[in-house]
Chain A
Amino acid sequence: MPLYEGLGSGGEKTAVVIDLGEAFTKCGFAGETGPRCIIPSVIKRAGMPKPVRVVQYNINTEELYSYLKEFIHILYFRHLLVNPRDRRVVIIESVLCPSHFRETLTRVLFKYFEVPVFISNNRYRESGCIASKLETQLLEQCTVDTSAAKEQSSLCSIVINYDLKRGLKIQAAKFNIDGNNERPSPPPNVDYPLDGEKILHVLGSIRFSCGNSFEQDNEEKSVATLILDSLIQCPIDTRKQLAENLVVVGGTSMLPGFLHRLLAEIRYLVEKPKYKKVLGTKTFRIHTPPAKANCVAWLGGAIFGALQDILGSRSVSKEYYNQTGRIPDWCSLNNPPLEMMFDVGKTQPPLMKRAFSTEK
């Protein structure tokens, strides 16, 4: 039982913490060690053959409003089992989340569900396009066994989703552990059962090459260059500390070997002249958060949501929203007077930034 559950029952009820990811939504209560549920961010509609993705940035407001309304309804009445009106909501969102999405979500929560208070917390968003690359590769090169005959795997577009990532154990190490530059042998082929009769044969080389999505693309940009470029943009005296305190979050980073590959790539890139001159440091360390990488952002919000003392002053109340009709963004720096009981500014960063580590 979380430590502050007792306090919560005496005073305010524990806040609801929701992290709406493009693929999965993590949802639970503040102060707990993990989300109550991790479900795909989709809704099923009667007319449509495939489930509809809820987190879409390019659809019109009305559609988005109805999707969000239905999805949040499911969250509250099937997974959380609480009344929306009683509890504060902490929303975890990407720094790059478009305002349109944010505002529609706010409107759904305040107007339809009548949540009393809304707080938003920021997280960095991983690139979500990797899975689609995997899909196209599979469609081209793998075959499917049915009871009748072998067919091309155009059939598997029904099934393929993130589920394939789990078993495919994508070999992300381009660099061998021994240090030589040989490509490691590809992983063995896999027979993936689709349903009762069909079996999808996945070639080992496909499994292997999916990891290459993380390699540098045509513009020589990858996750590793992203990190190094961001470091260069930081003030010089902070670079060493930042480099030794990297936090990698998100479900994509849970691919086996991802972090090793990332570090290896960083170390390789740091030797290049582009970075060698500018970056003073060569030590890079990644933190191990107290949760799986896909829940870390949620966890940050949950810890923040457990801080009853300051939560009131760092949130937007329903009354404020009804008066002004807007929700301030993280980048707006104006400070309204204290009577509003509301402070705009950068929200607290998630837990890791302040936690230093000691060598064991």
Chain B
Amino acid sequence: CKYLCFPSVNLYYFNNEKSLKKFPLTIKVWSSFCSHIKLVDSHYCPSCLENMPSAEAKLKKNRCANCFDCPGCMHTLSTRATSISTQLPDDPAKTTMKKAYYLACGFCRWTSRDVGMADKSVASGGWQEPENPHTQRMNKLIEYYQQLAQKEKVERDRKKLARRRNYMPLAFSQHTIHVVVTCFLPFFLVTTLQQRLLQPDFQPVCASQLYPRHKHLLIKRSLRCRKCEHNLSKPEFNPTSIKFKIQLVAVNYIPEVRIMSIPNLRYMKESQVLLTLTNPVENLTHVTLLDTAKVGAFCLSLSDPHFPWTFRKANKVGIFIKVTPQREEGEVTVCFKMKHDFKNLAAPIRPIEESDQGTEVIWLTQHVELSLGPLLP
């Protein structure tokens, strides 16, 4: 049968008793409890799609070893090669062609030569990020404070109050009297704030100081239930794969309510809306629709609690509901509860000797809110 697609969204409420959280059906993750924890699963580079173990990611500060970002427009840099003729070491008269590599941006035309980086003789591995000039001083400072911290710890262990002590003067910082820069650079040679902030250690003002950085990695996340600690969603380890190892998504277990046709809705006029219910699981599911107390401002009472089905096809059932808008204008929203039985196939199977019941059947109730669109005058 033909499916009419409406822009209205079906929303399910989660965990009705405790909190009303709406999730669009397609991205809801099923769990008997509402909140879930997100965990970092695997690191990978978005450009070369190479997986990186977390220890290495930590060492490389979450940056890819091979790929670079353009410091101007943040696009991925590509390595280009030119051939240059160089003199042979043995015989200065003869020349040979050698390859020289440089980085270039396909989008904004920036090249590594713009900042004075020399061409490298190897395609990858030759490019280095500059080091922070303050590293030495920083390390000394940390050492100094570590000493203070140790002293404090020792005193604390002795259960005495921390005494004030004379701090030794250390040749750490320098004073500078700043001189005003009176020369004004042409505008296009000054870096934008965004370009500057991408390099927190240097934040260069001049575009000629903008060096490329290694590309930042992305992660794949897995979700776990906060209460029962079950894994809800676990993606494949391979960065190129979009599949999931574990994927417990509501749409695979809970019957789906879709709107099939909406007649013209008018104030205080009863009209029939055609809905379909789709059963995603292989076993027979019993569904009961119950009226619910008014939740939103436009909720309306369903006039007939027993909804006759109109058609049935495979795992889909069509039902009519009678809708009477209670307000003169605005969006019409229908709320009801859907009670369905659910076989928990994920639960451990009991040994057959103990009981003959098979898997458990529990009844779940979902809040459904359907947005039927605006009222006609």
Q: Contact residues of A with B, CB < 8 Å?
A: 1-4, 9, 24, 26, 28, 31, 33-39, 73, 77-83, 85, 114, 162-163, 165-167, 169, 172-173, 177, 184, 187-188, 190-192, 256-257, 259-261, 263, 285-292, 294-295, 299, 303-304, 306-310, 313, 338, 351-352, 354-358, 360
Contacts and interface: CB of A to CB of B under 8 A. Distances in A.
15 contacts: A1-B59, A2-B142, A31-B142, A83-B39, A162-B193, A169-B181, A169-B190, A187-B184, A260-B178, A261-B180, A286-B176, A288-B175, A290-B138, A292-B203, A357-B171
Given A4-B142, A33-B138, A26 B200 contact: yes
Contacts of B216: 79
4 A-B pairs with least C-beta separation = A290-B134, A356-B169, A307-B149, A34-B201
Contacts of B38: 73, 77
A263 B187 contact: no
A309 B142 contact: no
Contact of B180 (A2, A9, A256): A256
Contacts of A357: 171-175
Contacts of A35: 200
B80 to A, nearest CB: 27
A288 B219 CA distance: 37
Contacts of B313: none
Contacts, number: 160
Given A33-B135, A82-B40, A309-B153, A166 B196 contact: yes
Contact of A257 (B169, B172, B180): B180
Interface residues of B, number: 61
A2 B139 contact: yes
A192 B201 contact: no
Nearest to A175: B180
B43 interface: yes
Interface in B138-165: 138-139, 141-143, 145-146, 149-150, 152-153, 156, 159
A299 B137 CA distance: 12
A360 B194 contact: no
Contacts of B178: 257, 259-260, 263, 286
Interface of B: 37-40, 43, 57-59, 61-62, 132, 134-135, 137-139, 141-143, 145-146, 149-150, 152-153, 156, 159, 167, 169-182, 184-185, 187, 190-194, 196-197, 200-201, 203, 205, 216-219, 221
B187 A192 contact: yes
